[in-house]
Structure 1
Amino acid sequence: MLVLTVGGAAVASLVDGLAGLWGALLGASVGGGFILCTAVAVLLTARLPAMTAGAVLLGSWLLKMILAITVLAILDPLDFYNRQAMVIVIVLSLVIVLGAETYGVLKTKVPYVSPTESDEDSGTAQ
C-alpha cells in the first residue's frame, strides 16, 4: 500500500501538480481505510462462531459502504484535489488487496483427510 501511495502521489503530482497529489493521497486514505476496516473486522471475529463472524463481517461491509459514500459526499463540492487521481488510486488499492488475498487463499495449504473405516469397524479380524 505504501508503494502505491508514493507511486500514485508522484505520478499524479507530475500530471496535475498539487491537485494531483491531494487526489492521490485522498485515494490512498480511502482505499487504506477500506483495507484497515476489513483487517480489524477479521481480527475481531477470528474466535467467533462462523455464523456470528459472517454476520459481523457483512455488517462491517455495510458500514464501510456508508462511510465511503459519506466521505465522497463531503469531498464532492471541494475542488482542491484531482478526482481522477483519487479514483484511480482507490481502484488500484482495492485491486491490489483483492489480488493479495486471492493469492494467499490459493497458496494456503489445507489438509484434506478422508475418514477411512478402521479394521475394527469393518468386522475383519487380523
Structure 2
Amino acid sequence: MRGPVAPPQVPLAISRADTFDSLVHESAERLRRRLPQLAGVDFGVQEVPWLPRDGAGEMSGSDSVPLGGVIRARGGQPDRVVVFRRPVELRARDRDECAQLVHEVVVEQAAELLGLAPESVDPRYGQD
C-alpha cells in the first residue's frame, strides 16, 4: 500500500521549510500589529543568502554569513524583508531557539528598513 505516511493535518506532514515560513510570517504579523507602516512590506524566506548585484538589497547578520536582508521597493514591487533559512537553522539548537532567532532577524531587518533601532520596532528585542 502506497500513500502518505500521515494525513496532512498531522504535524509529521509539515516540512521544516513550511514550519520556518510560519515562524517568519507569525513574527511579521506581530510587528505589523504594532507598526502600521509595515503593512505594505513583503516578508519572505530564501534558503541561502544572495549577494546584491546592483545595490537593490542590503544584508545584515552576525558573523560573516548574513541571516537576513532587505530589498528596497522598486519597479512597482514593495519593500521586502527576507530571512535566510539555512543560516538561521544552523545557528539554532532547537525549535524554540529557532523561533527566537527568526523573530530577532525579522525585527532587525524591519528596523533597518524603517531606519529605526530594533528596540523601537519591538521593545522586547534582546531581552529573551
TM-score normalised by structure 1 residue count: 0.29
Larger radius of gyration: 1
TM-score normalised by structure 2 residue count: 0.28
Q: Which has the higher helix share?
A: 1
Larger RCO, structure (CA 8 Å, separation 6 or more): 1
Q: Which has the higher strand share?
A: 2
